[in-house]
Amino acid sequence: MNLKLTAVSAAILTAVTAAPAFADYPERAIELTIPAGAGGGTDTSARRLALILEELLGTSIAVLNIGGGGGSVGASQFMQADPDGYSLFATWNSPLTTVPLVQNVAYSLDSFTPIASTSETAYVLCVDAEFPATTGAEFLDELAANPGMYTYGNDGIGGTMQLAAERIFQAREITAIPIPFGGAGETLQNFLGGHIDIYGGSISTVLPYVETGEANCLVVTSAADVPALPSASGLEALGLGEHETLLWRAILGPAGMDQAIVDQLSDAIQTAVNDPAYVEFLATKGEVPNVLVGDDLAARLQSESDGLAEVSRALGLSQ
């Protein structure tokens, strides 16, 4: 027997046997878990993005909504998925960077593989036409001059909206009364009904009422101004740029995913997010594309978690 030929054959057999199972990824449908009910901002954004990704990846994407616990229920279930690239997690930042600060959850940032962020927007603080302020600076001055007088709605105790507002309020020594609701839609209903003084929530929810004059939005939680809300001041203009908090969305996988699959997915997501039709869709929601991948996304998650932890501790909300 030719020993040299046998050795070569063995090497080829070993290489074939060791070939990665993801060589033809994806070979079947992908399941996309969204930790919120159908119809919300993250759900509609993820479903629209999934349609583009189906074409780019050449496979179908089934959406699974698992709401509850501010996103923690869906996150806790998802972290048990196989890290084979066929289970993905489309979320907003709160379940990862805020909820674990104020709830006992079964997961941490290490439970996930960061793949790519997709879009971002600011939260916004709005008042009605009778409020004694018409600019962001006047708004903060009015709150500072009247501690404990005004109520603001938010998306739940210790939620990202409350912590975003309190970062601003603490910097200006403002005391306002947080009123928690189940989400921006419920906050809006109570604001329009006159039950709270200030709407705190996502831009897309309140935008139609800005156009009718029922809401006057004065401060956004981003450092920069938001073109969709010309009457609102960004934090940079108010001297508070370092206290920025954004609402942003991302797609992650379970911990332990192979880097080759992560790279393939992040490339596809970046292409999908920058598709002109998707960019136009985001604009109607007051959002803009924002893609961070790999270590950059991991760093953003950690930095935001650390920053909001300081606010949470100051409020006595941290676990």
**Within this chain, do residues 117 and 151 fall inside the same structural domain, yes or no?**
no
pLDDT value at residue 3 = 44
Predicted confidence band of residue 93 (pLDDT cuts 50, 70, 90):
very high
Whether residue 163 has pLDDT greater than 70: yes
pLDDT value at residue 233 = 97
**Within this chain, do residues 13 and 105 fall inside the same structural domain, yes or no?**
yes
Domain count, the chain: 2
| Boundary (domain end) residue, out of 243, 265, 284 | 243
**Within this chain, do residues 237 and 270 fall inside the same structural domain, yes or no?**
no
- How far is 15 from 190, CA to CA, in rounded Å? 64
**Within this chain, do residues 237 and 148 fall inside the same structural domain, yes or no?**
yes
Pick from 76, 99, 147: nearest CA to 312 = 99
Q: pLDDT of 20-35, one tens digit each?
A: 444 589 999 999 999 9
E-assigned strands of the chain? 30-34, 61-65, 87-92, 112-127, 151-154, 177-180, 199-202, 216-220, 246-254, 288-289
Query: Are the C-beta atoms of residues 88 and 210 closer than 8 Å to each other?
Result: no
What's 225's domain CATH number?
A: 3.40.190.10
**Within this chain, do residues 268 and 169 fall inside the same structural domain, yes or no?**
no
**Within this chain, do residues 50 and 161 fall inside the same structural domain, yes or no?**
no
| Boundary (domain end) residue, out of 227, 243, 259 | 243
Q: pLDDT of 64-82, one tens digit each?
A: 999 888 889 999 999 999 9
What's 106's domain CATH number?
A: 3.40.190.150
Residue-number span of the structural domain to which 168 is assigned: 122-243
